[in-house]
Amino acid sequence: MSKTVKLRKGLDIKLVGEADKVKVDAPLPASVALKPTDFHGLVPKMVVKQGDKVKIGSAIFYDKYNESIKFVSPVSGIIDEVVRGAKRKILEVRITPDGSEEAIKHEAKDPTSLSKEEVKLAMLENGLWPFLKQRPLDIIADPNADPKAIFISAFDTHPLAPDYDFIVHGQDQFFQNGLNALAKLTSGKVHLTLNGNVSADATFQNAKNVQINKVSGKHPAGNVGTQIHFIDPIDKGQFVFTVNPQDVVAIGKFFADGQYDPKRIVALTGSEAKNRKYYKTIIGASVSGIVNDNLESDNVRIISGNALTGDKIDRNSYLGFYDAQITVLPEGDQYKFFLTKGWLGPGFDKYSSHMLFPTWLMKNKKYRLDTNMNGEERGFVVTGEMEKVMPLDVLPMQLIKAAMTKDIDAMELLGIYEVAPEDFALCEYVCTSKIDIQEIIREGLDLIKEECM
Amino acid sequence: MKALEKIIHSLDPKFEKGGKWEKMYPLYETLSTFLFTPKHVTKKGAHIRDGVDLKRTMFMVVLALIPCLLFGIYNTGHWHYEIQSYVNPEFEGYRDYLTGFGDKVIYGLLKVLPLVIVSYAAGLAVEFIFGFIKGHGLHEGFLVSGMLIPLTMPADVPLWMVAIATVFAVVIGKEVFGGTGMNILNVALTARAFLYFAYPTAMSGDKVWKSGTDDMLVQAGNVMPDGASGATALGDLASFVGDSPVVAGQVMSKTDDLVGAFERAYDPIHAFIGMIPGSVGETSTIAAMLGGAILIFTGVASWRIIVSFFAGGLLFGLLMNGVSANAYMDVPGYYHLIIGGFAFGAIFMATDPVTAAQTGWGKVWYGLLGGALTVMIRVLNPAYPEGIMLAILFMNVMAPLIDHYVVQMNIKRRQKRFKTA
C-alpha cells in the first residue's frame, strides 16, 4: 500500500553551484581514511596496527560495545597512521593504497535464499552493517534490535544535493539485490520513498519487494526522518533502520560478487568549486584529488556532505563515510558594514526565510551564501519561525528547550525518538538568535541513549 | 568603509581579554557590532545561516513605531494648545485640528523627545551595567522597550519618574530573569504598571492627559473652565456607571442620552485617526495599524495575536451591547478598538514574542482572551478606566499555561498515532 504525502512546510535553500550531470573518474586517492568520528558515539577497537597490510574488506576496527560490528578497509594497502586526538581518541585510520585492488573474496549468494541471521552475519562481518542507521538516536543500527521497517529515501533535498536518480542509474540489478537483503532484516516492510515532484529513475520505479511511497514538497521532504514520521512513525521502544540508496547498491554488490564494494559517486558542488561534476571515487578517499585543482579561491569552506548537515574538512582531509557530496562555500570571515552587507543592508545577497529580506521578490534567484553567522548568539526571542520550516508534527521550540534543560520526560513526550539532528537543520538555519540547534538535539539524544536505551 | 573597519578593528586587541581596556569590552562590542556585522563564522551544525538577526528584527519594530511616535508628538502639541485656549483666547483657533501645526509640533517635540531620551538613557545605562557584570554587549531587546515606554506615558509625566520606572522595569522585569528573551512580563508595560500603581496621580485622572493642564488650572483658579475637559474618552465612559456621568467636560444626568452625547463628542473617525487625548503614542489607531501592517508583512509580529486580539475585544464589546445593563454597555462595541490604547497594545505590546504565547494556537487564544479581558476590565471594573495594560500583563502570566495546553494537545495527538496504527 503506497503512501503519498504532500508537505506544506519547509524551505528550499537555493544555492549557486549544482554539479553537472556528468560522471568522471577521480584520480586514485593517495590516501584513504576510515574515521570513527563519522559514526556518532562509536568507540573503536583496533584490529590492525600501523604498517599492517590490508585488503579491500579487511577489518580495521570494530565497535567496542558491539563487537560484531566490523569496519573494513575500502582499499588494499598499508596502514599508514592511526591519528589520535585528545584522550587518545582515535580520529582517523589512514591507509596508503597500493593500487592492487586485492580483496577478500566470499562466495556470491542470493540474499533471497538466505535466512535473516545469515544476511545479518554477512553484513556485520564484512563492513556493510555501518551503512544501516537506526531511529531513534540516528546512530549505527543496533544488530540486536528488531526494526519495524527499513526506510530508504531515493532523493535528497538538501542544498545542492546529489541526484540519486543519476547516481544509481543503471544499477537496477544490484539495487534490487540490496533491497532483497534488507528485506530479510525486518519483520515489517522496506519503504522506498520517491520524490513526488519528479519522475524517478527506473532503478527506483521498478524496485520490487518494497513499498514505494511518494513525498513531495520542499526540503526536508527528502529526509528519512520526515518520511518515517508521515509513513510509519516510531513510538518509544520501536526501531526503524535507514540506508542511503548508494549503500543499498553496495550491499547488493556484495551479495552478487562476494566482495566489499567501496565505490562511491560523489557530487562536487558549491559556488567556490570548479569542474562541478559527479566523481567516481571510493569511501573515505582523500578529497585532495577532487578539490585541489578545483577551488575558486583559497578562503573557502570545504564540507563533506551538504551545507546544512555536513562536516567541515580541510582540503587534504577525507570524505565522510555516509557522504555523497562535497560542498565548497566561500568562508564568511569578513566584517560587513551594517548598511551595505551587514545587518541593516538591503539584503539582496542574503537568502532568508523571513520577510525582512527581499528574498521573496526573487523566487528563482540562486544565492552565493558564505559561512558568516550573520549575527550574534542571543536568547530565544522570536517564536513561530521554526514552525514554518518544520513539517513534522513536532513542536520544535518546545523540544529544543526540553533538550537544553535536559528534561528527559518532556523530550520523550515531544518526540525525541523520532528526530535526528538533521531534521532540525532548517530550524538552525532560520533561527534569529543564532543558536546551534543541531548540537542541542544531538546532546539531547545522547542523554536519552544514556538514560533510557 | 574599509578605512573605518581598519581603525575600529585595530582596537580589537585592547578590548580583548588581557587588553588594556578589557573592562570596557561590552561597550566596544556593542558599538563595533552595530557598525559591522562581526566576522564570526559557523562552527557547528549548519554551515550557512539565514541573513536575519535580532538587530534587524528589533530595528523593524522601532521603525514600525515611528508613525505612532510622529502622531504622538503632534497630538501632544494639539491638546496642549486646546486646553490652553480656555484661559488664553489667542489659542482659540488652535482647537481646530490643523491650525497652528508648526507650534503644535514644536511643543510636542519639546515634550516627547525628553521622554524618549530619558527612557533610552536610563534603560541603556542599566543594560550596560548588567552587560559589564556578565561581560557581554547590549542585547537588542531594550531598543524596542526604550521606544515603547515613552509612548505609553502621559506627556506630562515627570522625567525622573520615567527614569525610575525604566530602571525598575529593566532590572526587576527583565535582568533578574536573565536578560533579553528570559522575561515573563513585557518590559514596557512593567514600567507603566510600576508608575500606575506607585504614582497614580501622574498616570490617571483627568489632569494628566492634556499637556499643561496643571498650568491652565492655576491660571483659571483651580476650576476647570466651562467646556474644558481633561479626561480621556475612557475616563468619560467610566463615569457612566457612577452617579455623575460626564461627557467631554459636560456633566450629564443618568437619564440623558449618554451614548448619543458620547458619540458626538468622540466621533469614531476622529478616534480612529487618533484625535483624542491619551498617552503619547496610544491614541492613533491608524498609526498603530500602519506599524502593525509593517510588522505583519515582515512577520516580526504574529498576525495571529493581532487579529485575535482585535476579535476578542470586538466580541466582548458586542456581548456587552447584548447585555445592555447600563449606558457604558450600550456604547457600540467597536468603540473599544479605537479609543484608549487598545490598538497600540494589541499590535506592539501583546505581540512581544518573549512574553506572549509561543505556540500557533496558543497565540490565537492568548489574543482572544487578552482582547476580551481588556474590554471586560474597562466595562465591568470602572476603578480601572483603561484595561489594556492589566489585560496584557495578566495574559503574559497566563501565556505559559495556554502553551501548556497546546503542548498537551500535541502530545496527545502524537500518541494517538500509535494507538490507531
A421 to chain B: nearest residue by CA?
B45
Contacts of A317 (CB under 8 A, 6+ apart): A286, A287, A302, A304
Of B338, B337, B292, B341, nearest to B316 by C-alpha is: B337
**B141-151 and B159-168 helices, crossing angle to 10°:** 140
Listed by start position, the domains of chain B span 54-203, 256-275+284-406
How near does any CA of chain A get to the CA of B48, in Å?
5
Give residue-wise pLDDT tens across range A433-444: 999 999 999 999
Structure confidence at residue B30 (pLDDT): 87
Select the residue of B36, B54, B403 nearest A342 (Cβ to Cβ). Answer: B36
Structure confidence at residue B214 (pLDDT): 87
Asked if A300 has any chain B CB less than 8 Å from its own CB, the reply is no
| Residue numbers in A near B52 (CB within 8 A) | 352-354, 356-357, 374-375, 430, 432
Structure confidence at residue A324 (pLDDT): 94
Contact A307 B46 (CB under 8 A): yes
Asked if A357 has any chain B CB less than 8 Å from its own CB, the reply is yes
| Residue numbers in A near B418 (CB within 8 A) | 233, 235
Task: State yes or no: cis peptide before A162, omega within 30 of 0.
Answer: no
Percent of chain A with pLDDT over 70: 100
**Cα B246 to Cα A426, B275, B311, B327, distances in angstroms:** 58, 19, 29, 12
For chain A, where do the domains classified as CATH 2.40.50.100 start and end? 31-97
Give residue-wise pLDDT tens across range A175-233: 999 999 999 999 999 999 999 988 888 889 998 899 999 999 999 999 999 999 999 99
Question: How far is Cα A274 from Cα B68, in angstroms, rounded to an integer?
Answer: 53
Tell me, yes or no, if the pTM score tops 0.90: yes
Percent of chain A with pLDDT over 90: 81
Contact B37 A312 (CB under 8 A): no
Q: Which pairs count as long-range contacts for A320-323, CB under 8 Å and 24+ apart, including other chains?
A: A320/A35, A320/A38, A321/A34, A321/A35, A321/A38, A321/A39, A321/A130, A321/A283, A321/A284, A322/A38, A322/A133, A322/A244, A322/A247, A323/A266
Give residue-wise pLDDT tens across range A57-96: 999 999 999 999 999 999 999 999 999 999 999 999 999 9
Q: Which 3-state string (H, E, C) describes chain B?
A: CHHHHHHHHHCHHHHCCCCCCHHHHHHHHHHHHHHEECCCECCCCCCCCCCCCHHHHHHHHHHHHHHHHHHHHHHHHHHHHHHHCCCCHHHHHHHCCCCCHHHHHHHHHHHHHHHHHHHHHHHHHHHHHHHHHHCCCCCCHHHHHHHHHHHCCCCCCCHHHHHHHHHHHHHHHHHHHCCCCCCCCCHHHHHHHHHHHHCHHHHCCCCCCCCCHHHHHHHCCCCCCCCCCCCCHHHHHHHCCCCCCEECCEECCCCCCHHHHHHHHCCHHHHHHCCCCCCCCCCCHHHHHHHHHHHHHHCCCCHHHHHHHHHHHHHHHHHHHHHCCCHHHHCCCCHHHHCCCHHHHHHHHCCCCCCCCCCHHHHHHHHHHHHHHHHHHHHHCCCCCCCHHHHHHHHHHHHHHHHHHHHHHHHHHHHHHHHHC
| Residue numbers in B near A370 (CB within 8 A) | 41, 48
Residues 236-265, chain B, touching A (beta carbon < 8 A): none
Q: Supply the CATH classification number for the domain A31-97.
A: 2.40.50.100
How near does any CA of chain B get to the CA of A59, in Å?
31
Question: How far is Cα B401 from Cα B392, in angstroms, rounded to an integer?
Answer: 14
| Residue numbers in B near A411 (CB within 8 A) | none
Instruction: Tell me which of B9, B42, B403 to substitute to probe the interface with A (most A C-beta atoms closer than 10 Å).
Output: B42
Instruction: Tell me which of B7, B29, B56 to substitute to probe the interface with A (most A C-beta atoms closer than 10 Å).
Output: B56
What is the SS3 assignment for A245? helix
Q: Distance from first CA to last CA of chain A, Å, rounded?
A: 32
Select the residue of B36, B41, B45 nearest A337 (Cβ to Cβ). Answer: B36
**Cα A179 to Cα A172, A192, A246, B75, distances in angstroms:** 10, 9, 12, 75
Give residue-wise pLDDT tens across range A132-164: 999 999 999 999 999 999 999 999 999 999 999
Contacts of A375 (CB under 8 A, 6+ apart): A343, A432, A434, B37, B49, B52, B53, B54, B55, B56
Q: Distance from first CA to last CA of chain B, Å, rounded?
A: 62
Q: Is the pLDDT of residue A249 over 60?
A: yes
Mean residue pLDDT of chain A comes to 93
Q: Span A23-52, mean pLDDT?
A: 93
Structure confidence at residue B390 (pLDDT): 94
Three cell numbers written together for A89: 581518541
Identify the segments of chain B with pLDDT beneath 50: none
Residue found under cell 543558536: A435
Structure confidence at residue B420 (pLDDT): 63
Give residue-wise pLDDT tens across range B301-310: 999 999 999 9
Structure confidence at residue B11 (pLDDT): 81
Structure confidence at residue B421 (pLDDT): 52
Other C-beta atoms closer than 10 Å to the C-beta of B154 total 24
